[in-house]
Amino acid sequence: MSPQSAAAVESDGRIRCGWSEGSQLYRDYHDLEWGRPLHGDDALFERMCLEAFQSGLAWITILRKRPAFRAAFEGFAIERVAQFGDADVERLMADPGIVRNRAKILASIHNARVARDLGESLDTLLWGYAPTPRARPRGLSDVPAVTAESTALAKELKRRGFKFVGPTTAYALMQATGMVDDHIADCWVNVSTR
């Protein structure tokens, strides 16, 4: 998820990244999750799937639908999703609680199978592309949409057979899971990467 504006002072007097304005859901996500290091194969698989589903949509749409996504995709447990078949695809396509995009649904199931059969942990693979920690961005213009690391990660994921994870989606995944800390320099949230 990319910040929409540099920084905002909220009613509680805290300075936050500007994109967290306007919604308690955004604010909670910003304060409690975004940019904090996340580990675990299933947890990272969930974020990978949700970032892919978000492509072309506002992140708030995904946040609002996240409980339904979690229920529909059985907690994003890789082993469970990897076993989904045609009946599951039709069930998901009929579920109004999620984004009903057949290509993204099929990609999520496919990606679960790839993750299951990796031969290494998804966590190890993804975090292996985390860049060296750097200074926080001073403003929106300092926040990239793509980096050399996200491009390399996307290329490796594609080589391994993953779908719907291009360089921009890979970078959003890096931001969301704390592989990079793109909180604006003045933001109150203090995360440590890794």
In a domain, 49, yes or no: yes
- The region, left, alpha or beta by phi > 0 then psi within -120 to 50, assigned to residue 29 is alpha
The average pLDDT across 111-127 equals 97
Tell me whether residue 59 is one of the annotated catalytic residues: yes
Look at residue 72 and tell me whether its pLDDT is greater than 70: yes
pLDDT tens per residue across span 145-190: 999 999 999 999 999 999 999 999 999 999 999 999 999 999 999 9
* Catalytically annotated residue among 26, 34, 46, 51: 51
* Cβ within 8 Å of residue 118, ≥6 positions away: 125, 160
Instruction: Detail the residues annotated as belonging to a binding site for Zn(2+).
Output: 17, 30, 183, 187
Tell me which residue range forms the domain holding 35: 24-130+138-177
Tell me whether residue 51 is one of the annotated catalytic residues: yes
In a domain, 90, yes or no: yes
* Catalytically annotated residue among 59, 127, 129, 171: 59
* Cβ within 8 Å of residue 8, ≥6 positions away: 15, 16, 17, 18, 20, 21
In a domain, 16, yes or no: no
In a domain, 1, yes or no: no
In a domain, 183, yes or no: no
For 17-21, 83-87, 133-137, 185-189, which range has the lowest pLDDT when averaged over its residues? 17-21
User: pLDDT-derived band of residue 46, with 50, 70 and 90 as boundaries?
Assistant: very high
Check residue 44 and give its pLDDT: 98
More confident call, 6 vs 140: 140
| CATH code (residue 43) | 1.10.340.30
Instruction: Detail the residues annotated as belonging to a binding site.
Output: 17, 30, 183, 187
Half-sphere exposure of 122 (CA within 13 A, CB side): 26
* Catalytically annotated residue among 29, 34, 127, 171: 29
Look at residue 3 and tell me whether its pLDDT is greater than 50: no
The C-alpha atoms of residue 20 and residue 4 are separated, in whole angstroms, by: 8
Look at residue 2 and tell me whether its pLDDT is greater than 50: no
